[in-house]
Amino acid sequence: MPIPIVPCAEVALAPAEGGGAPLDAARILGVGEPLSATFDVGVWVPRLTGTARVGAGGASFNLDDDLAVQGSAPGVAGEFAVTAGRWRFGGLGFAVEESGSQAATAAGTFGTTPIAVGDAISGSYSAWMAGGEVGYVLWRPFADEPWPWSDAGDNRTQASSMLGRNGRPLADIQVYALGGGFVLGYEQSVTNVTAGGTSTFERTVGGVYGGAGADIRMGMDGRVPLIQDLRLYVNAGVGFGWPDADSVWMIRVGFAAMLDEHVGVEFGYRLFDFDLRDGPSQVDAGIRGLFGAVSVRF
């Protein structure tokens, strides 16, 4: 999730290195930045991949070939963040579902439902996630204080040249640590239309994760009509869940263009990978696909 930077109120600062007129804090990257917030809400079009083995003696089925859920259907995804200094506090989530039908391409048993090759089957799945996230900027090379242990003015000369005429950064790189927690719900059903019978796998788990991210911004400073700045970000995290959940990992990549001070558009990719267990049953799945959103910044 990108970390926003917004212009701040004017405050006069003394120069970092002897002499000269006082400097305006509003013209120094990383100095006097007020509390800010971003909201990104959009459409996620993921595909379900992985394997599912449900029930004692159940066969291992490929989720993207065998259980009538290989299509991509639009879902909802979003995130928000409130930034104060180097800290960011926010949340994220999604809700997706898909259903379909096919002639079975693999034989076996899903739960208590036997399937033979050629049987008409229908299937569905739904997944949702809601979580909270905390981030802390570890390195911001163009700002007044590049590192958490830097003193004010350590990078004053460069930071004073990093804001454009519109008050937005001409160039800004932030590398940060991430951590958070989440609740994940997943349900999958298969019906053998030919022979009869329906079986369902359902789990709700909680989890925690840690990771890192990078946010790179380039300001247009009026050089490109209708675009205030461009932003590229990459966030990745890995963790675990409970009860009966093994590894969980996620990737969020995006490219955003702010059309004015407060509103922009964003395109990217999201992946949420999880491994759920329930007794002899196991679903090792990934939900991945393209993401498009409206970005609002205050």
Residue 244 — pLDDT band, cuts 50, 70, 90?
A: confident
Domain 12-297 listed as CATH 2.40.10: no
| Cα angle for residues 31, 34, 37 (degrees, 5° grid) | 130
* Dihedral class, residue 160 (left if φ above 0, else alpha if ψ from -120 to 50, else beta): alpha
Higher pLDDT among residues 19 and 87, named by residue = 87
Asked if the peptide bond before residue 2 counts as cis, ω within 30 degrees of 0, the response is no
pLDDT value at 10 more than 80: no
In this structure, are residues 254 and 295 in contact, taking their beta carbons and an 8 Å threshold?
Answer: no
Torsion 286-287-292-297 (CA) sign: negative
Distance CA 129, CA 252 (A): 14
Q: What is the dihedral of CA 58, 64, 66, 67, to 10 degrees?
A: 80
Q: Which of 120, 116, 113, 123 is nearest to 48 (CA)?
A: 123
How high is the pLDDT of residue 26?
61
Distance CA 126, CA 75 (A): 10
How high is the pLDDT of residue 25?
59
How high is the pLDDT of residue 44?
97
pLDDT in tens, 107-152: 999 999 999 999 999 999 999 999 999 999 999 999 999 999 999 9
The tokens for 89 are: 């506090």
Q: Which of 228, 253, 180 is nearest to 1 (CA)?
A: 253
Residue 223 — pLDDT band, cuts 50, 70, 90?
A: confident
In this structure, are residues 234 and 253 in contact, taking their beta carbons and an 8 Å threshold?
Answer: yes
pLDDT value at 233 more than 50: yes
pLDDT value at 12 more than 80: no
- In terms of DSSP H, where are the helices of the chain? 156-159
Give the CA diameter of the chain.
87
pLDDT in tens, 146-205: 999 999 999 999 999 988 877 778 999 999 999 999 999 999 999 999 999 999 999 999
Please identify which residue in the block is written with the tokens 């951590």: 179
How high is the pLDDT of residue 167?
75
How high is the pLDDT of residue 4?
43
Per-residue DSSP letters for 182-247? Answer: EEEEEEEEEEETTT--EEEEEEEEEEEEEEEEEEEEEE-TTSSTT--EEEEEEEEEEEEEETTEEE
Query: What 3-state DSSP class applies to 39?
Result: strand
Of all residues in the chain, what percent carry a pLDDT higher than 90? 72
Which amino acid type is present at position 2?
A: P
In this structure, are residues 270 and 77 in contact, taking their beta carbons and an 8 Å threshold?
Answer: yes
Distance CA 200, CA 61 (A): 14
Average pLDDT over the chain, rounded to an integer: 89
pTM: 0.87
How high is the pLDDT of residue 187?
97
